[in-house]
Amino acid sequence: MTFTKVTEQTSDYRHLETMSIREVLTNINKEDQTVPLAVEKAIPQIMKLTAAITDKMLAGGRLFYMGAGTSGRLGILDASECPPTYGVPQGLVVGLIAGGDSAIRRAVENAEDDMEQGWRDLLQYNISDKDVVVGIAASGTTPYVIGALQTCRSQGIITGSISCNPGSPVSAYADYPVEVVVGPEFVTGSTRMKSGTAQKLVLNMISTTVMIQLGRVEDNKMVNMQLSNEKLVDRGVKMVMEQLQLAEYEEAKTLLLEFGSVKRAVESRK
């Protein structure tokens, strides 16, 4: 079967340079509105991948995201927000990008074309079959990601993928492929746009659902969040006041800071 990169097909819009600012913004927004609908179609795939990740993490495993360019940066963003949001240890969710940390801010030429480097990067973390590796590639053809997933499968490590082309090569090396087909980009081939938005939505869904399953959320509250700034301390104090029915702000704040998290502060009074 011939593989067609939908993400590289010509934009449905022509002569963008002749559009007014309003027209450009309106048309980008019109395209963006199609992304959640494409994600909705992929929920059965997302559900299978999320369940597999949850099972491994409940058993003590870790989650690794791998990608290049925008895809890699989105994985790092999602991974980096798990500790402060849910109070999990650093290293439980790890984001890797082709070219290393310097590629987060500046493109590293040809880094994504190395089929071997992805696996070498995983070895730095003592990857094992306890873990799950999810490759993120809008095109579904990134060698850095494909090579890593291929080796992971040969080592008995569960793999997943998030791509925006149907039947892509990266899906062939994923035990749990997710394909969110958003169609051609507003600017032809600029996958940081709709494809990037789709990947971000899927990553939000996966990590949030996994953390809920791991018991890091109670009711609808981030009861394990890190108290790293005044805004979060204030949010935590109000949670403690609500859950313990305390009227005094300072009393709740003292309790929160003593125990270091909403969950522990509340449990200390029960």
Q: What is the value of pTM for the model shown?
A: 0.94
Residue 116 tokens, joined: 């071997």
Give residue 239's pLDDT.
95
For the purposes of burial, counting CB atoms within 10 Å of the CB of 264, is it exposed (0-12), middle (13-18) or buried (19 or more)?
Answer: middle
What is the per-residue pLDDT for 88? 96
Mean pLDDT of the chain: 95
- Residue 205 — pLDDT band, cuts 50, 70, 90? very high
Model confidence band, residue 187 (pLDDT cutoffs 50, 70, 90): very high
Q: Residue 223: exposed, middle, or buried by beta-carbon count in 10 A (0-12, 13-18, 19+)? A: buried
Specify the 3-state DSSP secondary structure of 64.
strand
Report the amino acid identity of residue 23. Answer: E
Q: For residue 106, what pLDDT is reported?
A: 85
Instruction: Name 267's Cβ contacts closer than 8 Å, sequence gap at least 6.
Output: none
What's the pLDDT tens digit per position in 105-135?
Answer: 887 777 899 999 999 999 999 999 999 999 9
Task: Kindly state the DSSP code that residue 11 receives in the 8-state scheme.
Answer: P
Whole-number Å distance between alpha carbons of 137 and 119: 16
- Predicted confidence at residue 270, as pLDDT, reads 73
Residue 205 half-sphere exposure, CB side, CA atoms within 13 Å? 21
Residues with a catalytic annotation lie at 81, 112
According to the model, what pLDDT value does residue 110 have?
79
- The pLDDT of residue 3 is 81
**How much of the chain exceeds pLDDT 90, in percent?**
93
Residue showing tokens 């939505």: 201
pLDDT tens by residue, 97-112: 999 988 898 877 778 9
Does residue 1 surpass a pLDDT of 70?
no
Residue 195: pLDDT above 90? yes
Residue 130: the pLDDT is 98
